[in-house]
Amino acid sequence: MNNFDFNSKVVIEFYGNGCLNCQLMEPIMREIKSALPDIHFSRINADTNLDLVQRYQITSLPTLLMLRNEQIVGKIVGVKSSSTLYHQINTTLNYA
């Protein structure tokens, strides 16, 4: 995927080019990314990475996978408010 330390906290966003909800999530994710600098964020285009979509069983876009130490510890599907996303990501990756 990308070059980053898998022993860290990672959020992977699966998105699609023609996905309106994915476009709505883009500015929200920028805000979350700046608010949580200790977490690595990555975006994967579901349209061009079908092998990853199948491997991680992505059925709706946008989907966020949260990983810690290479293990999926959480999943968020659909558009959420920035406060909801911040709380879910922060709680899952920093305290769970």
Residue 62 lies in a domain: yes
Residue-wise DSSP of 3-67: S--TTSEEEEEEE-TT-HHHHHHHHHHHHHHHH-TTSEEEEEETTT-HHHHHHTT--SSSEEEEE
Residue 70 lies in a domain: yes
The pTM is what? 0.89
Inter-CA distances, 38 with 5, 13, 23, 82, Å: 12, 17, 24, 17
- Say what the pLDDT of residue 10 is: 95
Domain of 88, CATH number, reads: 3.40.30.10
Q: Give the whole-angstrom CA distance, residue 54 versus residue 37.
A: 29
Q: Which domain holds residue 27?
A: 9-94
pLDDT tens, residue by residue, 22-79: 999 999 999 999 999 999 999 999 999 999 999 999 999 999 999 998 899 999 999 9
Residue 55 lies in a domain: yes
